[in-house]
């Protein structure tokens, strides 16, 4: 797979939302936020690891579902803060870019 702006954008957005979740977890030791942050890091790594190239479509759909569940969970239980809204913009952007990448890979 050739890396372009789309792939680098997905990586940057994934790391950004991961760091936000981990930073929010630290003060109160929120395990769910740690896990969510590390989940984003793991999924973006799995998406582009050459060894998992044959499973890239499945990983991408898992990544899309993971991000959607995170947004849904926040909509039900999350706090309405500036950081939370910023993170939702990042996650929605990530969803769109993952879907665009899927369309490009299957065109």
Give the chain as a DSSP string: ----HHHHHHHHHHHHHHHHHHHHHTTTT-HHHHHHHHHHHHHHHHHH-GGGGGGHHHHHHHHHHHHHHHHHHHHHH----HHHHHHHHHHHHHHHHHHHHHHHHT-
pTM above 0.75, yes or no: yes
Residue bearing tokens 């990530």? 94
Query: Exposed (0-12), middle (13-18) or buried (19+): which is 53, by Cβ within 10 Å?
Result: exposed
Query: What is the C-alpha separation between 31 and 69, in angstroms, rounded?
Result: 17
Predicted confidence (pLDDT) per residue in 48-85, tens digit:
999 999 999 999 999 999 999 999 999 999 999 999 99
What's the pLDDT at 2? 82
């Amino acid at each position: 797979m050739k890396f372009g702006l789309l792939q680098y954008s997905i990586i940057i957005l994934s790391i950004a939302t991961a760091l936000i979740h981990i930073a929010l977890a630290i003060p109160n030791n929120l395990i769910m936020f740690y896990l969510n942050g590390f989940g984003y890091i793991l999924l973006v790594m799995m998406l582009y690891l050459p060894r998992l190239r044959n499973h890239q479509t499945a990983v991408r759909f898992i990544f899309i579902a993971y991000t959607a569940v995170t947004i849904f969970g926040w909509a039900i239980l999350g706090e309405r803060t500036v950081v939370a809204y910023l993170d939702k913009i990042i996650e929605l952007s990530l969803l769109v870019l993952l879907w665009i990448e899927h369309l490009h890979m299957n065109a």
